[in-house]
Structure 1
Amino acid sequence: MTTLQGTRRLTTSQALVSFLSRQYTERDGVRHRLIEGCFGIFGHGNVAGIGQALLQQPEDLAYYQSRNEQAMVHAAVAFARTRRRLSTLACTASVGPGATNMVTGAALATINRLPVLLLPGDTFAGRAASPLLQELELPYAGDLTVNDVFRPVSRFFDRVWRPEQLLSSAVQAMRVLTDPAETGAVTLALPQDVQAEAWDFPEEFFERRVWHVRRPAPEEHALAAAVRLLRRAERPLIVAGGGVIHSDATEALARFAAATGIPVAVTQAGKAALAHGHPAAVGAIGHTGSPAANTLAREADVVLGIGTRWQDFTTASRTLFADPDVRFLNLNIASFDAAKQSGLMLQADARAGIEALDHALAGHTVPDHRRARASALVRRWDQEVDAAFSRTNTPLPAQSEILGAVREAMGDRDVVLCAAGSIPGDLHKLWRPSDPLGYHVEYGYSCMGYEIAGGLGVKMAAPDRQSVVLVGDGSYLMMAQEIATAVAENLKLVIVLVENRGYASIGALSASLGSERFGTQYRYRDAGSGQHDGGVLPVDLAANAASLGADVIRASGIDAFREAFATALAGERTTVVHIETDPLAASPSSDAWWDVPVAEVSTLTSTTSARRTYEKEKATQRPYLRPAD
Structure 2
Amino acid sequence: MKTIRLTTGQALVKFLNQQYVEFDGKEEKFVQGVFTIFGHGNVLGLGQALEEDAGDLRVYQGRNEQGMALAATAYAKQNHRRKIIACTSSVGPGAANMVTAAGTASANNIPLLLLPGDTFATRQPDPVLQQVEHYHNLTVTTNDAFRAVSKYWDRVTRPEHLMTAMINAMRVLTDPANTGAVTVCLPQDVQGEAYEFPEYFFKKRVHRIDRRVPTESDIKEAVALIKEKKKPIIVCGGGVRYSEAAEALKSFSEKFNIPYGETQAGKSAVESSHSHNLGGIGITGTLASNLMAKEADLVIGVGTRYSDFTTGSKQLFQNENVQFLSINTSEYHAYKLDATKVVGDAKLALQKLEEELSNIDYKSSYSDEIQKAKEAWNKEVDRLYSIRYDENQFIPEAGDHLPHVLPEFARQFGSTITQTEVLEFINEHVADDAIVVGAAGSLPSDLQRMWNSRTPNTYHMEYGYSCMGYEVSGALGVKLAEPEKEVYVMTGDGSYLMLHSELVTSIQERKKINIVLIDNAAFGCINNLQMNNGMGSFGTEFRYRNEETGKMDGDLIKIDFAKSAEGYGVKTYQVTTMEQLKEALEDSKKQEVSTLLDIKVLPKTMTRDFESWWNIGVAETSKKQSIQDAYERKESVLQTARKY
User: Hey, what's the Cα distance between the residues in 2 that align with 1:59 and 1:221?
Assistant: 47
- Once the two structures are superposed, the pairs formed by residues 326-345 of structure 1 within 5 Å of their partners are 326-345=322-341
Matched position secondary structure for 1:607: helix
Report the counterpart of residue 158 of structure 2 in structure 1.
Answer: 162
User: Hey, what's the Cα distance between the residues in 2 that align with 1:103 and 1:588?
Assistant: 33
User: Hey, what's the Cα distance between the residues in 2 that align with 1:93 and 1:427?
Assistant: 34
Matched position secondary structure for 2:153: strand
User: Hey, what's the Cα distance between the residues in 2 that align with 1:543 and 1:158?
Assistant: 44
- Once the two structures are superposed, the pairs formed by residues 219-368 of structure 1 within 5 Å of their partners are 219-362=215-358, 364-367=361-364
User: Hey, what's the Cα distance between the residues in 2 that align with 1:608 and 1:527?
Assistant: 31
Query: Is it true that 1:507 corresponds to 2:504 in the alignment?
Result: no
Report the counterpart of residue 405 of structure 1 in structure 2.
Answer: 425
User: Hey, what's the Cα distance between the residues in 1 that align with 2:313 and 2:616?
Assistant: 9
Matched position secondary structure for 1:370: coil
1:329-355 C-alpha deviation (Å, 9 max, x unpaired): 000000000000000010001111111
Matched position secondary structure for 2:488: strand
Contact 2:121 2:157 survives alignment (8 Å): yes
Amino acid at match of 2:280: A
User: Hey, what's the Cα distance between the residues in 1 that align with 2:590 and 2:251?
Assistant: 36
Query: Is it true that 1:577 corresponds to 2:573 in the alignment?
Result: no
Q: Give the TM-score taking structure 2 as reference length.
A: 0.94
Contact 2:446 2:606 survives alignment (8 Å): no
Matched position secondary structure for 1:110: helix
> Which of 4, 9, 15 pairs up with 2:11?
15
Report the counterpart of residue 35 of structure 1 in structure 2.
Answer: 31
User: Hey, what's the Cα distance between the residues in 1 that align with 2:270 and 2:24?
Assistant: 22
Report how far residue 597 of structure 1 moved.
Answer: 2.1
Report the counterpart of residue 527 of structure 1 in structure 2.
Answer: 547
Amino acid at match of 1:208: K
Amino acid at match of 2:582: R
User: Hey, what's the Cα distance between the residues in 1 that align with 2:363 and 2:385?
Assistant: 33
User: Hey, what's the Cα distance between the residues in 1 that align with 2:608 and 2:375?
Assistant: 15
> Which of 123, 126, 135 pairs up with 2:131?
135
Contact 1:262 1:365 survives alignment (8 Å): no
Report the counterpart of residue 410 of structure 2 in structure 1.
Answer: none
Report how far residue 39 of structure 1 moved.
Answer: 0.2
RMSD: 1.3
User: Hey, what's the Cα distance between the residues in 1 that align with 2:630 and 2:589?
Assistant: 44
Change (3 A) 1:105 1:174: same
Report the counterpart of residue 380 of structure 2 in structure 1.
Answer: 384
Report how far residue 183 of structure 1 moved.
Answer: 0.4
Report the counterpart of residue 627 of structure 1 in structure 2.
Answer: none
Matched position secondary structure for 1:353: helix
Query: Is it true that 1:493 corresponds to 2:509 in the alignment?
Result: no
Contact 2:174 2:207 survives alignment (8 Å): yes
Query: Is it true that 1:593 corresponds to 2:589 in the alignment?
Result: no
Q: What residue ranges of structure 2 are gaps of 5+ in the alignment?
A: 391-414
Which deviates further from its counterpart, 450-459 or 267-276? 267-276
Which deviates further from its counterpart, 22-31 or 563-572? 563-572
User: Hey, what's the Cα distance between the residues in 2 that align with 1:528 and 1:598?
Assistant: 31
Query: Is it true that 1:471 corresponds to 2:491 in the alignment?
Result: yes
Report how far residue 365 of structure 1 moved.
Answer: 4.8
Matched position secondary structure for 1:521: coil
Report the counterpart of residue 112 of structure 2 in structure 1.
Answer: 116
Matched position secondary structure for 2:491: strand
Matched position secondary structure for 2:301: strand
> Which of 479, 484, 488 pairs up with 1:459?
479
Matched position secondary structure for 1:163: coil
Matched position secondary structure for 1:304: strand
Contact 1:25 1:211 survives alignment (8 Å): yes
User: Hey, what's the Cα distance between the residues in 1 that align with 2:506 and 2:633?
Assistant: 46
Amino acid at match of 2:321: D
> Which of 536, 551, 571 pairs up with 2:571?
551
Report the counterpart of residue 192 of structure 2 in structure 1.
Answer: 196
1:122-168 C-alpha deviation (Å, 9 max, x unpaired): 00011221111111211221111110111111111110011111111
Query: Is it true that 1:73 corresponds to 2:64 in the alignment?
Result: no
Report how far residue 609 of structure 1 moved.
Answer: 2.7
Amino acid at match of 1:258: E
Contact 2:211 2:345 survives alignment (8 Å): yes
Report how far residue 588 of structure 1 moved.
Answer: 4.8
Report how far residue 542 of structure 1 moved.
Answer: 1.6
1:177-222 C-alpha deviation (Å, 9 max, x unpaired): 0000110000100000000011111111111110000101110011
Amino acid at match of 2:116: P
- Give the paired residue count: 619
> Which of 416, 420, 444 pairs up with 2:464?
444
User: Hey, what's the Cα distance between the residues in 2 that align with 1:35 and 1:435?
Assistant: 27
Report how far residue 429 of structure 1 moved.
Answer: 1.0
User: Hey, what's the Cα distance between the residues in 2 that align with 1:300 and 1:447?
Assistant: 32
User: Hey, what's the Cα distance between the residues in 1 that align with 2:159 and 2:508?
Assistant: 35
Q: Give the TM-score taking structure 1 as reference length.
A: 0.96
Which deviates further from its counterpart, 259-268 or 390-399? 390-399
1:564-605 C-alpha deviation (Å, 9 max, x unpaired): 112212321100011111112242531211011211111123
Report how far residue 498 of structure 1 moved.
Answer: 0.7
Query: Is it true that 1:84 corresponds to 2:80 in the alignment?
Result: yes
1:463-500 C-alpha deviation (Å, 9 max, x unpaired): 11211101110000000111100000000001101100
Percentage of pairs with the same residue: 43
Report how far residue 113 of structure 1 moved.
Answer: 0.1
Contact 2:576 2:601 survives alignment (8 Å): no
Change (3 A) 1:589 1:558: farther
User: Hey, what's the Cα distance between the residues in 2 that align with 1:515 and 1:55?
Assistant: 55
User: Hey, what's the Cα distance between the residues in 2 that align with 1:434 and 1:333?
Assistant: 28
Matched position secondary structure for 1:375: helix
User: Hey, what's the Cα distance between the residues in 2 that align with 1:588 and 1:539?
Assistant: 27
User: Hey, what's the Cα distance between the residues in 2 that align with 1:298 and 1:211?
Assistant: 42
Which deviates further from its counterpart, 413-422 or 353-362? 353-362
User: Hey, what's the Cα distance between the residues in 2 that align with 1:584 and 1:166?
Assistant: 53
User: Hey, what's the Cα distance between the residues in 2 that align with 1:616 and 1:221?
Assistant: 40
